[in-house]
Amino acid sequence: MPRGSAVIRKGVPVSDSPNISDQTALTTSTGKIWLVTGAILTAVCIAVLIPRLWMTPSGVAAGGIIAVVALYTAMIPVRLGVHSLRVRLWTMATLMILIPIAFFVAAGIVYSTRLGVG
């Protein structure tokens, strides 16, 4: 089988290509899996940041929560409004990657300040 070709499994083409851009989640998904995993990731990030709302510097944990929720919320209109499948899935993947980045920035600032590093 040539490199990058698709195999049919259960009626769905599955790429055997090692390239990330050829993977099923970025080529044939409806986007629902991105919303479900994004919701779980967002809930975990919020659950970790909520107890840090009262730590100094004030407002950083709240800003992190707002950023995480905004990034997840942005996934919904992308899922519903972007008609190009590849653009929709790549945009949703990018937003999902940005969720933990926003979380780690906020949590890192709170914890480094608390530990006296910053």
In DSSP notation, 58-93 reads: TTHHHHHHHHHHHHHHHHHHHHHH---HHHHHHHHH
The predicted-structure confidence for 11-68, as pLDDT tens digits, reads as follows: 555 556 666 666 666 667 788 999 999 999 999 999 999 999 988 888 999 999 999 9
> What DSSP character marks residue 104?
H
Given a contact cutoff of 8 angstroms between Cβ atoms, the answer to whether 39 and 28 are in contact is no
Residue type, position 28, single letter: T
The predicted-structure confidence for 59-111, as pLDDT tens digits, reads as follows: 999 999 999 999 999 999 999 999 998 899 899 999 999 999 999 999 999 98
65 closest CA partner among 77, 82, 79, 48: 48
